Amino acid sequence: MRLRAGQQFEQQQSRFIGVGNVNTTKQEWQSNVHRDTYASLIGHPATLEQLAISLGLSQEELKLQFINKMIQPCGPVTKDG
Amino acid sequence: MSDDLAEIKRAQLQRKALNSNEPVDSFYDETPPRQLDKYDTSIAVNGIDFDDSMETELGKRTLVGQYSAPKELVAEMAGTGDQDDGLVERQHAKSVYSKESDYQRRKYNRALSPDRVGADGETRSYKQIMEERELEREEQRIQQLIKKQNEESTSSREQYIKQEETISEEPKRARKRRWDVEGTDEASGTEPVVKSEVEPVAQPQIIKRRSRWDQTAPAIISELQNEVEVVKPARRSRWDQSSKATESTELSKPVFGAMIENPNYLSDEMLNQILPTEGYEILQPPLDYVPITQPAQKLIQAPVSSNDGFVMLEETSAESLGVKHLPTNIPGVGELQFFREEDMKYFGKLMEKTKESELTIAELKARKVMRLVLKVKNGAPPVRKGALRQLTDNARSFGPKAIFDQVLPLMLEKSLQEQERHLLVKIINRVLYRLDDLVRPYTHKILVVILPLLIEEDPYARIEGREAVSNLAKAVGLPHMITVMRPDIDQTDEYVRNITARGFAVVASALGVPALIPFIKAVCKSKKSWEARHTGVKIVQQIAVLMGCAILPHLKGLVDCIAACLTDEQLKVRTITALSISALAEASAPYGIESFENVLEPLWMGIRKHRGKGLAAFIKCIGFLIPLMDPEYANYYTKEVMVILLREFNSPDEDMRKIVLKVVQQCAATEGVTPKYLKEQVVPEFFKCFWIRRIALGRFNSLVIDTTLEISQKVGVSEVLERIVLVLKDEAEPFRKMGVITVEKVISSLGAADLSPDLERRLVDGMLTSFQQSSDDNIMVNAFGTVINALGYRSKKYLTEIVSAILFSLQNQSPLVRQKAADLIAAIAIVIKNCDEDNFLLKLGSVLYEQLGEEYPEVLGSILGALKNIVAVVGLSQMRPPIGDLLPRLTPILRNRHEKVQENAIDLVGRIADRGPEYVSPREWMRICFELLDILKAHKKGIRRAANNTFGYIAKAIGPQDVLATLLSNLRVQERQSRVCTAVAIGIVAETCSPFTVLPALMNEYRVPELNVQNGVLKAMSFLFEYIGDMAKDYVYAVTPLLEDALIDRDHVHRQTAASVIKHIALGVTGHGCEDAMIHFLNLLLPNIFETSPHVIDRIIEGIDGVRNCVGASVVLNYIWTGLFHSARKVRKPYWRLYNSAYIQSADAMVPYYPELEEDNYKRAELDIWI
């Protein structure tokens, strides 16, 4: 039973990286949340435009910035999270 | 010469003497002299002491009579020594070994190559191995030479001896014959017994050779035996013999199976009881008394009646039955499903009671592995799973030696069964992943046991084998694989080469073909031995077979590897090369002709040069290449090759003819071949050679049919049918059948538009004739149906004839003929209608109606099917007999339990209920409703579904109230399936008659304080809301209190079913403004997420998911955040599950709703930006 649940989880995670389980740390979870947030902001042209205007950057610049931020969005991985 | 003769005679005499003496000797030898032996233990009733042997084997008897089989029979069943036991055989029959062909069994001859690995696990050098191979080959060559010489020298002598043996009356036998033995055995003398013909069926052969019945029966016929040479089957069963006894004697008597002891026999105890104790004395038999043993005298023995009194039954126990006590509980392993004798060989160590502390670490590991393997192999599924997991997880710490030393020998065990083998392969597979390069020293060993799987008949076993080999290849790498398998490539043993080639093909598909191509090229050019070249070419063939069109990128390379072998000096190599190229062509079709350009010429030359098998291979190769060519070339090659094909049409070799047919098929299919050419050159000869009766009986008639179909695609229907029509009236049934199948295939693919009126008439005539003459199966009906349907309106002029033939067959005595006729009506009803021959239909309808009393269910089913089709085309209003008469006849038929009857009857009833309920009174419909409830129990899903739909139709016709009342009361029944179906039916009724007619009654029913009813109501609501979709928005608030109640019920099934109701409601009302009710449900659902039973928790989660879809992720997520990082694992688990399903469905929508966290690095500042 436990084995199957584990396998299911692995299979799920291979498709949707943001899913978690009981062992997920807060940091892992938040990293995913941040990445999802950036992806969402980039993905919706209207929000991207709004942010670009408010930050005074071009949309492309902002996009690049967000993509770069996706690398370790919550700092390096720590043990305790 | 005469010396020899004399010697043989002498030997025979000696043997005879030995045979006759043997049992007597053993009799005296085996039984130790006992006290009681001083006098005879029993007095034979008929003056002949017949059964001393009874006590010889098993020693003492008890005074207490017990009900069991006589000891003698028990001794037989124990099956000691060479006597074979039926049960054991059955056990063996299940093993993989018994299913294998001799060729496959050659794997057992292969050693596990223990010499490949030194004691310390070091491989020996490649050079050494190759030298050994060389030696082996040399040895084998010499052996063969010696054998040949011996054969030559001894053949003359052997011939002579054989002649002698046939002259002498006593043929040589491997086993001693029973009557040789028993004929002189003093122990025989039981009554002869006759068994009815039925008995062998009732009693499987558990009793073997030394049975009591045999003892006299053969004795009686032993005299006859001298005159009649009894032909003995390889394994004689007792039944054969007793039937012989029947033939030769009239001493027949009934017997109660094998369990009754000979009634003639009176034991001491019985005599003590019968005879008075006083006044008698037990005397010792005189010293010179010798029991009469001559069979001739025994023959005089009068038949005795079997029912003369008391029957003594004997003690039985597992031991006396010879059941060896094999443990199912092994120390340290626990309960197993079984433990066989053969397992002892491998797992015996586990039984020894050695102290763990005395063992070395390696031994301990081996023990541990042994235990785990045993658990995997023989344990129940849960045990097996755990053990397999442990084995995989700890594979590296156990080390390859401990594991493979245990598993690999087991794989070669002859008594291994498929399931066990599957499990062992699974172990190997899993372990390979973990061990990775540690397995290197064991590569060859593993291959020896795994490669034979690749030629297994069972496709799953082949897949397993492939998987294991490719895992192995990935683990050890290509160079190592090649080093290990290289020595087997030029083995003299064809079997080894075959499996090695297949192994290489798997390696190629696992590690990529390009990596292997240089190696294959080298092997194919080997000058050392033709075997190596043969194997090399075979590898290519297997790659093509295995990978299919995936070879296309490497096609050129592969063809180039083997091209040179087409002109090899060895015929075998040339043949396999041709076959390989055809496999490549088949795999790459229709592309890649340019890769084959180099080989076309040698192929062409080959066809001219070869004969026999070689030619067959070359022709096959051309056959597969032709479809790749462009039309012009194809036409040219076809014409060229056709000359040879036509010549080989008459070949006596069956394989050759098969290949020729295949090639004709391929040629006919190519674009470049003109119909004219086929018509003139091929068709006449083809029909002359292949459309003959002998072919119909042969094995490849389906190939002929396919080829005919292929030709007809080119030359047209009439050209082919013109010739086949004649076949339809042939007197040989198989030939007719072949014709009929062809007609069906041709007509169904090409239609009948091309037929001339004359041909059309002859075709219908022929079909009708063979329809009337053929005795069985659906082929005829289908074919006739196809033809008539294809002809359509044109068949009008034949209908009179056909219908009268059908009417005639409907009255036939044979049920099969009647069934066929009914099936045909079903098939052609629509055509009859299209021909405006409604009268025929009505006539047929009324005849069928009269036949509804049919007693054969298969036939009745067909009749119902025919009626159904007639009703469908005629329409209810025109139907004769009127529906009002028809339906009441159907009601009792619904009770029939036969699936075919049920299915057709329910379809017919459903159609009537759907289209014309007004023809029947409501009371009749109610009656049908009651019958339908029973049908809800049917096994076939289609029937249940049809019944449910019919409920809907009936409810619509007569109003839901009565139907609903019936259904609701059916919720009280015990069977789950029936209740579920009732719930479905209620859902359907609600859907067809709108929910408000059903819901009040349903909710009222929930007040019944009974678990099943309440659950049934909830279930019905679940289906109801599933079916009505967004109509649910009007009923949400009405059902809320009920669901509230169900959700806080103590019974978890209540909550589970209520959750699924909520799911359906929520999904139905999404976007209809019922969010408040849904949040209310969510509040009640959420506490249930800690349920552990899988069904319950699944439904609950689904319910919550449904609500989330209705109210949005934001709301539901607010319930979830609290639990995601709860300190208790058990709490976190379900919350993460909810989170995951929300995340998977709507990750993007969740972005604004993630909680804001205090920590700096977790802040999402971007969301706070405003303009």
* Whether B1127 contacts B1121, CB under 8 Å: no
**pLDDT tens-digit map of B110-168:** 766 544 444 344 456 777 777 877 887 788 888 888 888 887 776 666 555 555 555 55
User: Which residues in chain A are contacts of B1157 at CB distance < 8 A?
Assistant: 30
Domain boundary, last residue among B422, B441, B460: B441
Reading phi first (left if > 0) and then psi (alpha if -120 to 50, else beta), residue B334 is in: left
Out of A18, A20, A74, name the one closest to residue B1162 (CB). A74
CA distances from B902 to B71, B203, B365, B932 (A): 53, 37, 62, 10
For A43, nearest residue in chain B (alpha carbons) = B1148
Say if B182 falls within a structural domain: no
Tokens of B1108: 């989330």
Tokens of B133: 């191979």
**Residue B1164 contacts A where some CB pair is shorter than 8 Å:** yes
Note whether B210 and B307 are same-domain residues.
yes
Q: Nearest 5°: CA angle at B354, between B349 and B357?
A: 120
Taking all residues of chain B, what is their mean pLDDT, rounded to a whole number? 80
Q: What are B704-710's contacts with CB under 8 Å, separation 24+?
A: B704/B661, B704/B738, B705/B738, B705/B741, B705/B742, B705/B745, B706/B665, B707/B661, B707/B662, B707/B664, B707/B665, B707/B668, B708/B742, B708/B746, B709/B742, B709/B745, B709/B746, B709/B749, B710/B664, B710/B665, B710/B668, B710/B669
Q: Which residue has the tokens 């007095």?
A: B43
**Residue B1171 contacts A where some CB pair is shorter than 8 Å:** yes
**pLDDT tens-digit map of B385-442:** 889 988 988 888 888 989 999 899 888 888 888 888 999 999 998 888 888 888 999 9
CA distance A76 to chain B (A): 10
Q: Report pLDDT for B3.
A: 59
Say if B654 falls within a structural domain: no
* Whether B595 contacts B555, CB under 8 Å: yes
Note whether B378 and B352 are same-domain residues.
yes
Chain center to CA of A12: 16
**Residue B39 contacts A where some CB pair is shorter than 8 Å:** no
Note whether B335 and B420 are same-domain residues.
yes
Q: Report pLDDT for A3.
A: 57
**Polymer length of chain A:** 81
CA distance B1161 to chain A (A): 5
Residue B980 CB-half CA count within 13 A: 9
Q: Report pLDDT for B106.
A: 78
> What ipTM score was computed for the predicted complex, to two decimals?
0.95
Q: What percent of chain B has pLDDT over 90?
A: 38
Out of B1136, B1150, B1164, name the one closest to residue A22 (CB). B1136
Helix (H, G, I), strand (E, B) or coil at B220: helix
Chain center to CA of B791: 41
**pLDDT tens-digit map of B626-681:** 989 888 888 888 888 888 898 888 888 888 989 999 999 988 888 878 889 889 98
| Single-letter amino acid code for the residue at B1126 | H
**Residue B1154 contacts A where some CB pair is shorter than 8 Å:** yes
Return d(Cα B886, Cα B879) in angstroms, integer. 9
Q: Is the pLDDT of residue B247 over 80?
A: no
Q: Report pLDDT for B470.
A: 93
* Whether B487 contacts B133, CB under 8 Å: yes
Backbone angles phi, psi at B940, to 5 degrees: -80, 135
Cis amide leading into B590 (omega within 30): yes
H or E element at residue B1027: helix B1011-1028
- Rg, Å, chain B Cα set: 41
CA distance A18 to chain B (A): 8
Label residue B177 by pLDDT band (50, 70, 90): very low
Is B1167's CB within 8 Å of A12's CB? no
Q: Report pLDDT for B947.
A: 87
Label residue B70 by pLDDT band (50, 70, 90): low
Q: Is the pLDDT of residue B14 over 90?
A: no
Tokens of B50: 């017949």
Say if B1090 falls within a structural domain: no
Four-point Cα dihedral B757, B763, B765, B771, nearest 10 = -150
Say if B724 falls within a structural domain: no
Note whether B300 and B247 are same-domain residues.
yes
Note whether B75 and B206 are same-domain residues.
yes
* Whether B292 contacts B338, CB under 8 Å: no
* Whether B1025 contacts B1061, CB under 8 Å: yes
Tokens of B606: 């080959």
Q: Report pLDDT for A2.
A: 57
Label residue B180 by pLDDT band (50, 70, 90): very low
Label residue B191 by pLDDT band (50, 70, 90): very low
Return d(Cα B413, Cα B342) in angstroms, integer. 8
- Environment class of B94 (CB within 10 Å of its CB; exposed 0-12, middle 13-18, buried 19+): middle
Domain boundary, last residue among B441, B466, B497: B441
Q: Which residue has the tokens 């013109």?
A: B722
Return d(Cα B142, Cα B148) in angstroms, integer. 10
Say if B401 falls within a structural domain: yes
* Whether B555 contacts B548, CB under 8 Å: no
Domain residue limits at B370: 328-441
Is B1144's CB within 8 Å of A19's CB? yes
* Whether A55 contacts A62, CB under 8 Å: yes
Q: Is the pLDDT of residue B1089 over 90?
A: yes
Q: Is the pLDDT of residue B1045 over 90?
A: yes
pTM across the whole model: 0.62
How many C-beta atoms surround the C-beta of residue B277 within 10 A?
A: 7
Is B1136's CB within 8 Å of A38's CB? no
Q: Report pLDDT for B329.
A: 67
**Residue B329 contacts A where some CB pair is shorter than 8 Å:** no
Label residue B825 by pLDDT band (50, 70, 90): very high
**Residue B1072 contacts A where some CB pair is shorter than 8 Å:** no
Q: Report pLDDT for B309.
A: 57
List, as one string, the DSSP characters of A25-77: -HHHHHHHHHHHHHHHHHHSHHHHHHHHHHHT--HHHHHHHHHHHTSSTT-S-
Sequence-distant (≥ 6) Cβ neighbours of residue B134 within 8 angstroms: none
| Single-letter amino acid code for the residue at B124 | R
Say if B630 falls within a structural domain: no
Domain boundary, last residue among B414, B441, B468: B441
Nearest of B345, B364, B362 to residue B410 by alpha carbon = B345
For chain B, first and last CA: distance in Å?
Answer: 124
Nearest of B482, B414, B410 to residue B444 by alpha carbon = B482
Q: What percent of chain B has pLDDT over 70?
A: 77
Q: Report pLDDT for B1077.
A: 95
Q: Report pLDDT for B336.
A: 77
Note whether B366 and B335 are same-domain residues.
yes
Average pLDDT over residues B530-539: 93
For A19, nearest residue in chain B (alpha carbons) = B1140
* Whether B618 contacts B648, CB under 8 Å: no
Out of A3, A36, A75, name the one closest to residue B1151 (CB). A36
**Based on the structure, what is the number of domains in chain B?**
2
Out of B1133, B1144, B1169, name the one closest to residue A55 (CB). B1169
Q: Is the pLDDT of residue B616 over 80?
A: yes
Note whether B298 and B356 are same-domain residues.
no
List, as one string, the DSSP characters of B325-341: ---SEETTTEE-S---H
**pLDDT tens-digit map of B697-733:** 888 888 999 999 999 999 999 989 999 998 988 888 8
User: Which residues in chain A are contacts of B1164 at CB distance < 8 A?
Assistant: 33-34, 37
Q: Report pLDDT for B1161.
A: 85
Q: Report pLDDT for B164.
A: 53
Label residue B1014 by pLDDT band (50, 70, 90): very high
User: At CB < 8 Å, which residues of chain A contact B?
Assistant: 3, 12, 16, 18-22, 24, 26, 29-30, 33-34, 36-38, 40-41, 43, 50-51, 53-55, 66, 74-75
Tokens of B929: 């409703």
Label residue B1018 by pLDDT band (50, 70, 90): very high
Q: Report pLDDT for B40.
A: 47
Is B1147's CB within 8 Å of A20's CB? no
Backbone angles phi, psi at B309, to 5 degrees: 105, -155
* Whether B681 contacts B642, CB under 8 Å: yes
Average pLDDT over residues B1110-1123: 94
CA distances from B1095 to A1, A15, B1060, B1083, B1167 (A): 13, 25, 11, 20, 41
Q: Nearest 5°: CA angle at A12, between A6 and A15?
A: 145
Q: Is the pLDDT of residue B838 over 70?
A: yes
Q: Is the pLDDT of residue B379 over 80?
A: yes
Note whether B269 and B349 are same-domain residues.
no
**pLDDT tens-digit map of B780-802:** 899 999 999 999 999 999 999 99
